[in-house]
A and B are shown apart, each in its own frame.
Chain A
Amino acid sequence: MGRYVLRRLIISIPTLLGISVVIFAILAFAPGDPLSQFANNPEVPFEVREQVRRSLGLDQPVQLRYVSWVTSLLRGDLGYSFASKLPVSELILQRLPATLAVLGSAYLIGLLIALPVGILSAVKRYSFFDHFATTATFIGFSVPSFFTGLILIVIFSVHLRWFPFIYDSTIETQDLESLWRQIRQTIMPVAVLTFFYAATMARYVRAEILENLPQDYVRTARAKGLRERILLQRHVLRNSLIPVVTLLALGLPHIFTGAVITEQIFAVPGIGHLLILSIVNADTPVVMGVTFIFAVLVVAFNLLADVCYAALDPRIRYS
């Protein structure tokens, strides 16, 4: 097992380098300009824009820029944003709390809803509840978040005036009142994401259980006269949740990158918002920083999923 993990870790180094080369190349060859907002402003002529490009090092050949990016990365330095001149790590840290608060809670609540719903609708297959849950998850899975987000805004912000639709990241939780303000502004974005996560996971849970129910070992257990509850808890659930754990582990890195569209709609200053703005403004160091950390997390959680898999399923042995 230890050797397996070590081998995977070593393999992940070229993988990560490969990812960074590909992303860097895409960014380098994609047309774009950090100063494009000044583009046809006669007060910002070509000479000035070229001077700025030079000061950002954009006049260097791509390979040199890549090498200098990797060298600073090895020193633990993600570089500086072209736009705000702040260290990329500082920008990411600034946005981490809101991202984790919104996406983390949505993921957790989504899971807490998905498990009972998925189990119940599998066990009571074709019941009224199952039909209802299947329809709801189908909707949650297919309706895009910008649509659910806007519907929530129109109902709860514009008509009922219950919740604000502009996230205020300056609120510091000191007392009950500020805590309530914090919760109020988080409810809608979390609801939108929870709906999606819960729907995705519930469908998966249901499918896995349904796959296990007709298996021979279930019939054997029933023939033994095992009670249905115990059968479900000890045998069916344990076996069906193994792939679900994998799914969960693989989904965790996405919490880090944030939810681009939902963050945009509710003005949540998350990492997805940072990423999309940096892409639009050709802010290469920030895009590289966010995507590279994401790549590291994806690789790490893949490994973690595989390790968990072996721990949960005794039939699996890595060597």
Chain B
Amino acid sequence: MDRRIRAPGIPAFLVISSLIVSACSQQATPGPAATAVATAAPAQSAAPTPNLRGAGGELKLLFWQGPVIMNPHLSQGSKDQEAARLVVEPMASMGPSGTPVAKLAAEVPTRANGGISADGTTVTWKLKSGVKWSDGTEFTADDVVFTYEYMADKAVAATTASGTRNIKSVVARDKLTVVVTFTAPTAVPYQWGVAETSAILQKAQFSAFKGANAKDAPGNQKPIGTGPYKVKDFKPNDIITYEINENYREAGKPFFKTVQIKTVADALTAARAVCQTGDADYGWSLNLAKDQLKPFLDSGRCNNIVTQGTSAESINFNFANNRLTGDQRAEPNTSHPFLSDLKVRTALAKAIDRQTIADQIWGGLTGSASCNLINTPRELISPNTATMDVCKYDLAAANRLLDEAGWVKGPDGIRAKGGVKMEIVYQTTVAAFRQQVQDVVKKAWESLGVKVELKAIPAGVFFSTDLNSPDTASKFFADVQEYANGYGDPDPEVFLSAWASENIKGRESGWRGTNYWRWKSAEYDALYFSLVKELDPAKRRDLIMKMNDLIVGQVVSIPIASFLRPVSGAAKELKGPIANPFEGDLWNIADWTK
């Protein structure tokens, strides 16, 4: 007499339900990493004298996204590249002001020193002599060339592969000279070779793994590098311990004997450990709400390491008709029933009180109101948007504009014209602050007589390339979508290409275009093509500002706020961290002291 009911379905149910329960309990995934530009940063400490190598005991860093791999070219996110940055180095770092700082290079090639050819097609890198890998072997131009080939190899499937675009060849002229030849004159000569995405791997360690077997390389966990530290122990998503690379080229550095990167659940835990209990020295990327972050900073135990970032939170309109069904839904050749009207877009933009939203949510601690898409470097910020009508909050004017455009309120209070009701589906990713912005904007638009339906989609789904999901940013099956968009290089050419009509892609091409909003403008395209060809920095600046102004003026995207970066917390005693919008927080860790 079996008193218990047994059915094969029960274990299955247990497993699946536990899977579902765990999925529901997950922490909110972070929005896409903001990238950024530099201004204020704590003063850099005086360089330690030579006898200080290893004088400083243990440095404890907390990350709330766990690094999983130490090969920056197979990384799954910027956190992996940051963790690898202690070990592997690029030829030059991108400095906080947007100019490169030589690392493995003897000097940064420029037009002035002849490193960049007059026609702008070749860049010649001279390397430092006498640099050694952590295993004691010599670092040469062969390693640099190998790294290029590794990144460009399709079978390797490097996530940093786009750095190798438009490059014809990278060759070693001699042991310490590398010549990069572009397919055409380039305005972005530092696209490859500069910053952590171009970190140099050791040829001897990786040459057997340049291909489909890239995943099997032991160097993925313990790369041999030229940086200040080497990996002692690596547990993905948990803890990484580093020890000094005794062959590091700079005498007297690094100061700390060992470094530890520990993964914790969220930014709040990291902030608590750095700013409250003093259990750690540095908390990475504390993307907290103003009200959460402020008490920690007020406690006086830690500094907020920030600078102006490249990332701006903006609301984007859909120019295609997402109301159609089947294969025609939001196809580029369709036109949105009301968002294609500039007056309507202007009215919706004018109803948004970006100042109040930004003050309430970020309060200048992590971000501030901005009506520009390009917010850094300083010389690229457009002064023109400040006086633009579309950037001014004015509900009455917004109502007038909609009246003028012929959209009248029906008995249900919703504006309509020719049988079309003004109903908006407004989507964004799941993040507390984004839902706050959604609520405020929804109230404002509803006061204009626009019906708004809100949708919040997990970031992992929203930004996926999965063609089966209807909720991706690239499909944009909604009227309005909001998220933060930024750029990694100080030159925003790639970022600005997302408004060029050549990047509009529909169903047929699997939505593989970056112009999600399907905006077509001959004027913008002309500016973009001039930018791609223009080599003169002053003229480029002018074009970039014009493009920014056109996007804002034509209300394709409504910038709400620009973010500061990296917003990391450092214990008061820690000296050396310099916020850098173009590199990870740890770009200058060799200079950190206590």
Contacts and interface: CB of A to CB of B under 8 A. Distances in A.
Given A40-B485, A85-B74, A274-B237, A15 B12 contact: yes
Interface stretch (A31-39, A106-114, A194-202, A232-240): A31-39
Given A43-B197, A166-B62, A168-B262, A85 B8 contact: no
Interface in A237-296: 246, 254, 257, 260-261, 264-265, 267, 269, 272-277, 279-282, 287, 291, 294-295
Interface stretch (A44-52, A175-183, A221-229): A44-52
Interface stretch (B100-108, B141-149, B466-474): B466-474
B337 interface: no
Interface stretch (B13-21, B118-126, B352-360, B417-425): B13-21
A204 interface: no
B273 interface: yes
A158 B238 contact: no
A18 to B, nearest CB: 6
B33 A264 contact: no
A267 B221 CA distance: 21
Nearest to A85: B215
Contacts of A260: 22, 25
B267 interface: no
A287 B15 CA distance: 12
Contact of A269 (B27, B237, B488): B237
Contacts of A101: none
Given A55-B155, A279-B22, A298-B14, 16 more contacts: A31-B472, A35-B465, A37-B65, A37-B79, A39-B32, A43-B487, A84-B221, A91-B236, A165-B277, A166-B279, A254-B18, A264-B265, A267-B269, A279-B19, A294-B18, A302-B10
A166 B156 CA distance: 36
B175 interface: no
B464 interface: yes
B19 A19 contact: no
Contacts of B489: 43
B165 to A, nearest CB: 8
Given A83-B68, A309-B4, A33 B466 contact: yes
Interface of A: 11-12, 14-15, 18-19, 22-23, 26, 29, 31-55, 80-86, 91, 94-95, 153, 157-158, 161, 164-166, 168-170, 246, 254, 257, 260-261, 264-265, 267, 269, 272-277, 279-282, 287, 291, 294-295, 298-299, 302, 306, 309, 315-318
Contact of B220 (A33, A36, A85, A272): A85
15 contacts: A38-B77, A43-B162, A46-B514, A51-B161, A83-B236, A84-B221, A86-B236, A267-B263, A269-B235, A269-B263, A272-B22, A279-B22, A291-B19, A298-B11, A316-B2
A261 B277 CA distance: 22
Given A31-B471, A54-B157, A166 B4 contact: no
B494 interface: yes
Across the A-B interface, give the 5 residue pairs with the lowest CB-CB distance, nearest first: A39-B463, A33-B464, A37-B77, A31-B469, A55-B157
Contacts of A39: 32, 459, 462-464, 473
A265 B273 CA distance: 12
Nearest to B238: A269
A40 B466 CA distance: 14
B374 to A, nearest CB: 13
B292 interface: no
A298 B9 CA distance: 12
A276 B18 CA distance: 11
Contacts of A53: 465
A211 B23 CA distance: 37
B12 A295 contact: yes
A41 B473 CA distance: 13
Contacts of A281: 76, 460
Contact of B264 (A12, A36, A51, A267): A267
B301 to A, nearest CB: 12
Contacts of B39: none
Nearest to A161: B277
A36 B463 contact: yes
A35 B29 CA distance: 13
A42 B498 contact: yes
Given A11-B8, A19-B11, A295-B12, A48 B215 contact: no
B61 to A, nearest CB: 12
Contacts of B236: 81, 83-84, 86, 91, 94
Residue among A23, A34, A83 having the largest count of chain B Cβ atoms under 10 Å: A83
B339 to A, nearest CB: 21
Nearest to B512: A46
A14 B30 CA distance: 39
Contacts of B396: none
A190 to B, nearest CB: 18
Interface string B229-246: 000010111110100000
Contacts of A158: 272, 276-277
Interface in B40-92: 62, 65-66, 68-69, 74, 76-79
A81 B12 contact: no
Nearest to B278: A161
Interface in B247-279: 260, 262-265, 269, 272-273, 276-277, 279
Contact of A246 (B4, B23, B155): B4
Given A83-B76, A306-B4, A41 B32 contact: yes
Contacts of B10: 302
B538 interface: no
Contacts of A168: 239, 262
Contacts of B162: 43-45, 47-48
Given A41-B35, A157-B277, A35 B159 contact: yes
A211 to B, nearest CB: 13
Contacts of A54: 157
Nearest to B163: A43
B23 A279 contact: yes
Contact of B16 (A26, A82, A86, A265): A26
A315 B237 contact: no
A26 B19 contact: yes
A32 to B, nearest CB: 5
A29 B4 CA distance: 35
A169 B239 contact: yes
B465 A302 contact: no
Contact of A306 (B1, B6, B158): B6
A257 B279 CA distance: 28
A298 B15 contact: yes
Nearest to A80: B215
B463 A33 contact: yes
Interface in B158-196: 158-163
Given A19-B11, A31-B471, A51-B154, A42 B22 contact: no
Nearest to B7: A15
B461 A31 contact: yes
Contacts of B77: 37-38
Nearest to A91: B236
A315 B1 CA distance: 8
Given A83-B68, A169-B235, A42 B25 contact: no
